[in-house]
Amino acid sequence: MGTSEAYLPEQRSSATWGGADPTDSLLTHLKPRCLMECDWQVPLGKVVTWEPDRPSFHFVLSGECSILAEGGEDISLERGDFVLLFRNGPWSLRRELQPRAADSGLGAEPCRIASGVIASSGGDVTSLFATLRSFHATKLGHDNAVLSSIVPLIEDEITHQKQGSRAVVNLMLTVVAVEAIREQLVSLPATSVSWLSALQDEDLGPALTAMLHEPSYPWTIEKLADRGCMARSTFARRFREAVGESPMNVLTDIRMQIAKELLLTSSGLKAISVQVGYGSLSSFTSAFRRRFEMTPTQFRRKKGRKN
């Protein structure tokens, strides 16, 4: 019997899987996930409203309805449509879902909707989505074969509620949400002020990507400017114009969000401070307190973790 050589990962052709692009970098950092909170039927001729404090989604499982988007635009939806509301706050997150009574008879299929929020363990999705169009509807059953195949699977899990159904549904809804977010990122105007536009800028993108991938590195303005082959002052000015904040403030945001996630694990405070780029526990504690008005230890106690 012949022998076969081990096929090591580094031997694979780089053409089979490209490097991370700006959207990969952002989504990997954000780690967005859908958390389904309710499954409801919209009564014929009635209005259902809901005002969560985070970006949210509505997934039409059956029937037809309409959603009242920002600015009073009434958009018709049907089975398989997925709606993302990127912004929170009382002015934009009031949803009014109502059946199209004029087109529906008494025997019309009930309108059933799964709704929930978009959470993130890697950053504040509310601020990062602020420059996206506040409302986005994805038609799953028309052009995307993979997503359209998810619709009946989600319906089945919600209807039969098998063991682990909630986790499975959240995972599948997250795939749908990421696809919708990706559609928005691709169509983002070049003039928008956000992390998203900076990531897609050929000069600024390498610096922001480096911050996301290597938060523990001792970055300085000069080192970040070198990533885009720019002078220090030019880089700092263009970065602020694109993002609305200084490079070092954004770096601190990234580090603090990662620190919050690590503080929910059993890692020691000293190890966490090194992982997020601080040379000493005291400097990490000071930065954390400035950002969240509590120390890492107080944050852990609040979340029920021991040091």
Q: Report all structural domains of the chain as residue ranges with CATH numbers, in order of start.
A: 22-186 (2.60.120.10), 195-302 (1.10.10.60)
Q: pLDDT in tens for each of the 307 residues of the chain?
A: 454 444 344 444 444 444 556 677 677 767 788 888 887 777 766 667 766 667 788 888 888 777 776 555 667 778 878 887 766 543 333 344 544 444 544 445 677 888 888 877 655 555 556 555 555 666 655 566 766 778 788 888 888 888 999 999 999 988 888 887 777 766 666 555 567 778 778 889 889 888 888 889 999 999 999 998 899 999 999 999 888 889 999 899 889 888 888 898 889 999 999 999 998 999 999 999 999 999 999 999 887 765 5
- DSSP state, residue 92: T
pLDDT, position 268: 93
pLDDT of residue 89: 43
Say how many Å lie between the first and final Cα of the chain, rounded: 55
Strand ranges in 121-258 using DSSP code E only, listed in sequence order: 135-139
Q: What is the pLDDT of residue 137?
A: 62
CA-based nearest residue to 55, from 116, 144, 6:
116
Torsion sign across C-alpha atoms 206, 212, 216, 220:
positive
CB-based contact 17:171 (threshold 8 Å)? no
Provide the β-strand partners of residue 81: 139
User: What is the pLDDT, as a whole number, of residue 244?
Assistant: 84
Selection from 218, 207, 289, 264 nearest residue 240 by Cα: 207
The torsion angle over the Cα atoms of residues 254, 258, 259 and 262, rounded to 10 degrees, is: 180
pLDDT at 130: 54
Distance CA 183, CA 99 (A): 27
Do the Cβ atoms of 36 and 114 come closer than 8 Å? yes
What's residue 219's pLDDT? 94
DSSP β-bridge partners for residue 76: 66
